[in-house]
Structure 1
Amino acid sequence: MTELTRHVRYDSLKDRVAVVTGGGSGIGRTIVTALAAQGVRVGFLDIDEAGGAGTIAEAQALATPREPLFRACDLTDLDALARAIREFREALGPVDILVNNAARDDRHATADITPAFFDDRIAVNLRHYVFAVQAVVGDMTAKGEGSIVNLGSISWRIGQGDMPLYLACKAGISGLTRGLAREFGKSGVRVNTVMPGWVMTERQRRLWLTPEGEAKLEAAQCLAGRLAPDDIAAMVLYLASDQSRMCTAQEFVVDGGWI
């Protein structure tokens, strides 16, 4: 977490309950710690137990008012997902905020897609969004308010290659957001998509960043500089807070002016 989210304060977030998927590293870790720094009671999920412990350690180092609660969970196991969210509700209270963040941008070619791989990519990158919403939206409609933030990507807008199923899922998330916003808006539940550009997480630097990619980024962004996880967390905080009370069914692009 940097100055971008460390010192901003949204009084409406204090003591609210949030669930974040994929909070063990990268953008998800920063979202978890940024929410916890606001006094939010955060429960987060990740398949990576060591990563989850790392997020807890970072929150402790930042002395957040609330220490996040972690549950290791394979989000493709929908029974495990539902069970973990029930445990969060029992420990923290009814859910006010859901951040659907978990995904994997593994590269693949169309020729290599099998039916099993297709089903797996949908399960990893889209299906759990739906069932996480299903597990928490009753809490929100009972209160007459709530915020669901789905993490998308500009990748499908720019026609990025080498991962067609990932792009299909990210495009589907934008459609899902619109449908959910219409279904639950009259109950006071807001649903939005945050669409990051190329965020320089440790994973991106290790696996995908090349001199050629760096040159493409330089040419594509209107703004100089590199996107950091804090840039995305800052938008999530705003959408989770009451300051965005009339924002729903929208795509909020944070990409340095790429699209």
Structure 2
Amino acid sequence: MTTELTSATPTYTFADLQGSSVFITGGGSGIGAALTEGFLQQGAKVALVQRTDAGEFCDAMEAKYGVRPLFILCDIIDIEALQAALQQAVDAHGRIKVLINNAAVDNRHSLQDYTVTDWNQSLNVNLRPHFFTAQWVAAGMKASGGGSIINLSSISYLMGNAGYPAYVAAKAGIVGLTRGLARELGVDNIRVNALLPGWVMTERQKELWVTPEALDEHLGKQCLNMLLQPEDMIAPTLFLASEASRAMTGQALVVDGGVVVTG
């Protein structure tokens, strides 16, 4: 039997996040939507981008919390548009204190039929924006005395999963980029960490990949007998964003129910 967690009012408070300017890519669906709500719960000012309309989600957040997240329609493949969205967020909310590179596409593909165009498209979504958003926010974070950058990777590369090698490569690259940026930006009190979720039961996963057989196989690898929900990523992300993790940078934090072992 598995235990499926549901969204609930948080019992934790990160007071230093109140009023903070937060920018989340892919912040209107899946894990990203959970993170947007988690920061709103803490009183943060959230801007989010994605390539599909998030108006209905923002309506729901405004009705629930009395504050509307700033939604900016943007395809993160377009770096100039992404940079313009970052500027729009700064104009609305002030200098960005927390950057969360969450957006990703985990499309399955074969090795033999994958083209150069396919490869470039995958990395242009799953890795390239992480570099250029960090590049853009670094000056503002330095001027503010510091900040937190959180890059969402995945345990898929630690597991050596088959079926989507370009995605696995990008997720491994995110951890390498995170560690390089942590060294690069630490002198300015900018912390850079990676969050590595396990198999989280987003609507996309349930629609495309979750089958009883696949789920049973994966749960057999977890230490904890539970289905991971998007809400399970909120508290770890808030921790990395807040001063509670002020001495942590260059780290890869795994939240997967106990599938892989680090250290």
Shift of 1:211: 1.7
1:38 is the counterpart of 2:59: no
1:62 is the counterpart of 2:64: yes
Helix, strand or coil for the counterpart of 1:6?
Answer: coil
8 Å Cα contact 1:150-1:192 kept in structure 2:
yes
Aligned to 1:245: 246
Aligned to 1:124: 125
Aligned to 1:27: 31
Q: 5+ unaligned residues in a row in structure 2: which ranges?
A: 1-5
Alignment of 1:7-22 (within 5 A): 7-22=11-26
8 Å Cα contact 1:24-1:54 kept in structure 2:
no
Q: 5+ unaligned residues in a row in structure 1: which ranges?
A: none
Distance 1:62 1:245 in 2: 30
Helix, strand or coil for the counterpart of 1:107?
Answer: coil
Give the structure with the larger helix fraction: 1
Distance 2:77 2:58 in 1: 23
Distance 2:135 2:57 in 1: 26
Q: TM-score, normalised by structure 2?
A: 0.94
Aligned to 2:164: 163
Alignment of 1:72-221 (within 5 A): 72-221=73-222
**CA offsets per residue over residues 185-225 of structure 1, 9 Å max, x none?**
11100000000000001110110001221111221000011
Distance 1:198 1:92 in 2: 33
Shift of 1:135: 1.4
**CA offsets per residue over residues 97-131 of structure 1, 9 Å max, x none?**
00000000000011011111111111011101111
Q: Which runs of 4+ in 1 moved over 6 A?
A: none
* Number of equivalences: 255
8 Å Cα contact 2:62-2:69 kept in structure 1:
no
Shift of 1:183: 0.5
**CA offsets per residue over residues 24-57 of structure 1, 9 Å max, x none?**
20000010111011111111001011xx113212
**CA offsets per residue over residues 59-84 of structure 1, 9 Å max, x none?**
124225x4210000000001100111
Shift of 1:147: 0.3
- AA aligned to 2:23 is V
Distance 1:228 1:58 in 2: 19
Q: TM-score, normalised by structure 1?
A: 0.96
- AA aligned to 1:170 is K
8 Å Cα contact 1:76-1:124 kept in structure 2:
yes
Distance 1:117 1:53 in 2: 30
Aligned to 2:7: 2
Distance 1:123 1:173 in 2: 12
Shift of 1:58: 2.9
8 Å Cα contact 1:33-1:55 kept in structure 2:
no
Distance 1:129 1:47 in 2: 16
